[in-house]
């Protein structure tokens, strides 16, 4: 199916700034769904609030654009209501891990079969460039004019510790790899987390003197290397990408189906 058949043209033009990485994620997501051959009727996309959350409106799936931080809680209801549907949740870094941090760890703990895509641009874009829990120490933001003193989360470590059974990191530079990882994440039975590092040249790049979108993508190419590179190079600047966790653990909806079987027998 052509890419444009997945798009709701009524929604366009999109709201993203020139050079924003989120369009690349949207494109990658469409290609992943297309390669998997999933029917558009079988996908529910649930998002929260923020630049990233607008992904849902642009796509011709069943789409639920909800409240800031709460997408995963809505998604749990959708998935339990219709476990046969594919539930995909695009989120931003602030959306997923600041206001939505509690829902994130509990969705991971339950291992409910939802695909969480965290589009990490390390900044609140829609409100104009405030620091997020993934900005990191030393970063400049409109609410950190003297530089940020908040330490950041490592999404991969957090998701792994919380019990996610598929955890990966991708970038908007390594597009082909990102498409493959999204495919794997959708296919995985259980809670899957893909952190997709995305550039925000408008707020993060400009404020932190990282140049334009091209310069930010080049930087990603240089410092985001395959798993194992950190030990090999011993450089603390290096961020690893790839699939970190992939394991089998009972999935929540399947477990609940078993509860129903037991309850019906008891009755």
Partner 1 sequence: MKGTVRFVQGNEACVEGALYAGLKFFAGYPITPSTEIAEHLSLRLPEIGGKFIQMEDEIASMCAIIGASLTGCKVMTATSGPGFSLMQEALGYAIMTEIPCVIVNVQRGGPSTGIPTHVSQGDVNQARWGTHGDHSIVALTASNHQDVFAMTVEAFNISETYRTPVVLLLDEVVGHMRERLVIPEAGEIPIVERLKTSVREGVDYHPYLPREDGRLPMSDFGGVHRDNVTGLYHDMWGFPSDDPSVVHGLIRHLIDKIENQTNYLTRYKEVGVEDADCLLISYGSSARSARHVVENRRRRGERYGLLELQTLWPFPHELVRSKCANARYIIVVEMNTGQVCQTVRLAVDRPERVFLANRIDGEFITPTDIQGMLHLIQGKGL
Nearer to partner 1, 44 or 140 (CB): 44
CB of 23 to partner 1, least distance (A): 18
Phi, psi of 94, deg, nearest 5: -70, -45
- Give CA–CA dist 148/2, Å, rounded: 44
Task: Give, as ranges, the residues between 198 and 257 that touch partner 1 (CB under 8 A).
Answer: 256
CA atoms within 13 A on the CB side of 31: 13
**Cis peptide preceding 108, ω within 30 of 0:** no
Total residues interacting with partner 1, rule: CB under 8 A:
42
Binding residue (CB under 8 A) for partner 1 from 7, 27, 34, 82: 82
- Is position 78 an interface residue for partner 1 (rule: CB under 8 A)? yes
- Is position 42 an interface residue for partner 1 (rule: CB under 8 A)? yes
- Is position 52 an interface residue for partner 1 (rule: CB under 8 A)? no
- Is position 56 an interface residue for partner 1 (rule: CB under 8 A)? yes
Interacting span for partner 1 (CB under 8 A) from 35-43, 130-138, 180-188, 213-221: 35-43
> Alpha carbon of 226 to those of 9, 182, 194: distances in Å?
36, 16, 15
The residues that touch partner 1, with contacts defined as CB under 8 A, are 8, 10-11, 40-42, 44, 46, 56-57, 60-67, 70, 73-82, 84-85, 102-103, 106, 256, 259-260, 262-264, 266-267
């Amino acid at each position: 199916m052509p890419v444009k058949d997945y798009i709701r043209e009524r929604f366009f033009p999109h709201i993203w700034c020139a050079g924003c990485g989120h369009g690349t994620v949207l494109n990658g997501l469409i290609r992943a769904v297309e390669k998997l051959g999933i029917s558009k009727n079988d996908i529910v996309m649930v998002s929260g609030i923020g630049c990233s959350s607008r992904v849902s409106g642009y796509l011709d799936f069943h789409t639920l654009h909800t409240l800031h931080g709460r997408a995963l809680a809505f998604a749990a209801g959708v998935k339990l209501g219709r476990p046969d549907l594919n539930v995909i949740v695009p989120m931003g870094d602030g959306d997923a891990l600041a206001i939505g941090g509690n829902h994130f760890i509990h969705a991971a703990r339950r291992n409910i079969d939802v695909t969480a895509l965290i589009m990490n641009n390390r900044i609140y874009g829609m409100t104009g460039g405030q620091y997020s829990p993934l900005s990191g120490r030393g970063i400049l933001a409109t609410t950190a004019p003297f530089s940020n003193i908040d330490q950041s989360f490592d999404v991969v470590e957090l998701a792994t510790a919380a019990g996610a059974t598929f955890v990966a990191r991708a970038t908007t530079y390594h597009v082909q790899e990102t498409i493959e990882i999204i495919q794997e994440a959708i296919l995985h039975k259980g809670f899957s987390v893909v952190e997709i590092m995305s550039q925000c040249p408008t707020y993060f790049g400009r404020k932190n003197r990282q140049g334009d979108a091209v310069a930010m993508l080049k930087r990603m190419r240089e410092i985001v290397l395959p798993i194992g590179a950190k030990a090999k190079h011993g450089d603390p600047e290096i961020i690893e990408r790839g699939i970190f966790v992939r394991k089998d653990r009972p999935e929540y909806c399947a477990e609940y189906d078993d509860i129903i079987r037991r309850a019906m027998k008891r009755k």
